[in-house]
Amino acid sequence: MTVEQKVKELHHFISGELVEGASGRFSNVYNPSTGEVIAQVPLATKEEVQKAIEVAQKAFPAWKNMSVGKRAEIVMKFRQLVKDNEAELVEIICTESGKTREDAKGEITRGLESVDLAINAPHLLKGEYSVNVGGNINAFSTKAPLGVVAAISPFNFPVMVPFAQTSMAVAVGNSVILKPSEKVPMSALFYSELWKKAGLPDGVWTVINGDKETVDELLANPTVQAVSFVGSTTIAEYIYQTGTNYNKRVAALGGGKNFMIVMPDADLEKTANAFIGAAYGAASQRCMAISGAITVGKETADNFVAVLKEKVEKLKVGPYTEDDVDFGPVITNQSKEMVEGYINRSIEEGAKVVVDGRNPSICETSNGFYLGPTLLDEVTPAMEVYQQEVFGPARIVVRVETLQEAIELINDHELGNGVTIFTNNGAAARKFQEEIEVGMVGVNVPIPIPVGYYNFGGWKRSKFGEGYMFGPDQARFFTKVKTISEKWLSVDDETTTSFAFPSNEKDQ
């Protein structure tokens, strides 16, 4: 059978139906584990995006006016359908992203935390009420949905991130347009059908596949009121600057360079185990992955590297169909080459190779996009591998003499997504928490991703805009507040005209 016969042509999801692309332009979707093209996803034209936006806008008034309890009920049904179809969704995630089954299941579980919070939209939409703020006037506030909103999601989490970006937006009454990564579009199309089965009215949920042309129309179109983005820092800044230039509400989350500080008193065996999973899980393709260790003191560094070396050498890379693999391939061959470039240049700059993951043995029998785990020691802040987010299994060790030096290094970096410290010293942990300039902080927690009812977001160039992912700020981001002052007149009320600025001075 030829490759052309195997390849499936994907669609958009508009007005409750799968819709063929009309542009004639397609992007290949790969199975990273085999290197094979498994599907082609249509890339929408500007006109196709406009039509999708029109459909979403038409569906908005009825959805907005549906009771918040009924909307929450539909979200609850969606959650159950995701659980009922979890096994099939896991296979789709693994096929298009290369993740292990265990990792895919974990992603779905974390994604459902955002759905759980969205079920609580009735509580989060409650306004405030004050009686007789002055002159027998009652004041109260209400929260209203924005209208049509858009989410642009990354390849590394085909389910968790879109769920975090969209669940609350749907629950509070918006029409939502999702533009998934063209590298992993199949998951989004699958759970679009689940939204329909849950009873979501046609047009409230849309998936439009595309590239920069699609993104630019979502950013420029005046009907789209807000944009949520997760991806690289460069694109996040572009999304933020372009979207806000069109007067949109924008939350754009970028990349991270997330370090683990290892103190002299840390249990090195436990710390190394934590580092391994947080650093190499999902082939290090997580914005919250540990990028490297900053070891305090020469003895700490020497001992920690020795423990790490033994563990990293035992890690197994392979396809998700093998149950004993620790992580799978990177997403594309271009990604593989980019990570290899970082490794090669770091060696030229003086880094010491502790474990070399280039050309793993599986590459002899598979065309998948595989890289083994690489560990580089004696990396300095002047090196490119330190400065840039490396989205692949090449991790680094930076040696310092003091905790203060480690804190200053992290604070000087342009990215501030996540950071953690491993120590049993309460004073050191407190100093770290108070002085570190990073959005998400862990103490003996390797990946400090907050649970779904806390806000997720970094500092500095890891996040642009005031919106967050996860947490109650999702409800605030996707709603606008109306404040009402109300007074019921009686025959005893004064009828004289006053030109003074309104106040309650007479009632004091």
**C-alpha closest to that of 258 among 272, 278, 277, 273:** 278
Q: Indicate if 287 belongs to the active site.
A: yes
Options 287, 289, 317, 394, the catalytic residue:
287
List the structure tokens of 323.
Answer: 């149950």
- SS3 state of residue 355: strand
DSSP one-letter code for 282: G
Kindly write down the DSSP assignment for every residue of 119-140, as one continuous string.
HTHHHHT---EEEEEETTEEEE
What residue spans of 132-232 are helical by DSSP H?
160-171, 186-197, 212-220
Q: How many residues appear in the chain? A: 508
Task: Tell me the C-alpha distance between 206 and 48, whole Å.
Answer: 12
- SS3 state of residue 28: strand
List the structure tokens of 145.
Answer: 């949905």
* Other beta carbons within 10 Å of 390: 26
CB 449 within 8 A of CB 110: yes
Strands (E), 231-360: 249-253, 258-262, 290-296, 352-355
Helix axes 101-119, 86-97, angle to 10 degrees: 120
Strands (E), 135-286: 137-145, 148-152, 175-179, 205-207, 224-230, 249-253, 258-262
Active site residues: 287
